[in-house]
């Protein structure tokens, strides 16, 4: 688990991720949002869950945000746009194993997240893919940024989903 102090800007980045999460929920998808910021704090990519909307099992907020950031860097002429070195990924929920693997492969050095995922988290709760010593890249993890707000979005979404299924 992480006890590090989040980097400067983490609260604002989480606000942007929360806006993406709210948009995902409004579209009927699980309300998870993510942003990728560059070394200077500029937002390079955004993402929200689109699994249900697009019928895409890889449509997790983190993967969408990583793709968007890489596209931004390529548009700027960075031939190595897929390497997100120096960037920070901020996400409302602890990344799963798929997303953690994508983060490692994209060479993202920092992840900031809000709520822990006790069922599928891969940043310290169930697994710790981001800090696996046998991998070629390790990630600094900052947890619990606006945790209650991030968790509430998910709890409210699933409570409404259960009520709808019962009715």
Which residue numbers are catalytic? 62
Residue 66: CB atoms within 10 A of its CB come to 26
Is residue 99 marked as binding?
yes
Is residue 60 marked as binding?
yes
- Could you give the C-alpha distances from 79 to 73, 101, 106, 110, 128, in angstroms and in order? 8, 22, 14, 22, 30
User: Tokens at residue 147, please?
Assistant: 């945790």
**In 3D, which of 59, 57, 61 has the Cα closest to residue 47?**
61
Residue in the block written with tokens 């606000």:
15
- Rounded CA-CA distance 154/165 in Å is 16
**Sheet containing 33-37: which strands, arranged edge to edge?**
43-48, 33-37, 88-93, 110-115, 140-142
- Rounded CA-CA distance 71/43 in Å is 12
């Amino acid at each position: 688990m992480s006890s590090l102090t989040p980097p400067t800007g983490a609260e604002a980045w989480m606000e942007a991720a929360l806006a993406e999460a709210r948009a995902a929920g409004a579209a009927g998808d699980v309300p998870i949002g993510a942003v990728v910021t560059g070394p200077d704090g500029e937002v390079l990519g955004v993402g929200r869950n689109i699994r249900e909307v697009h019928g895409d099992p890889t449509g997790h907020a983190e993967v969408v945000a990583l793709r968007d950031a890489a596209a931004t860097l390529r548009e700027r002429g960075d031939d190595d746009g897929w390497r997100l070195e120096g960037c920070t990924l901020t996400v409302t929920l602890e990344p799963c194993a798929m997303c953690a693997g994508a983060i490692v492969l994209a060479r993202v050095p920092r992840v900031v997240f809000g709520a822990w995922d006790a069922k599928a988290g891969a940043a310290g709760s169930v697994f710790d893919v981001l800090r696996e010593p046998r991998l070629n890249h390790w990630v600094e993890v900052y947890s619990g940024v606006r945790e209650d707000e991030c968790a509430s979005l998910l709890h409210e979404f699933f409570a409404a989903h259960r009520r709808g299924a019962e009715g």
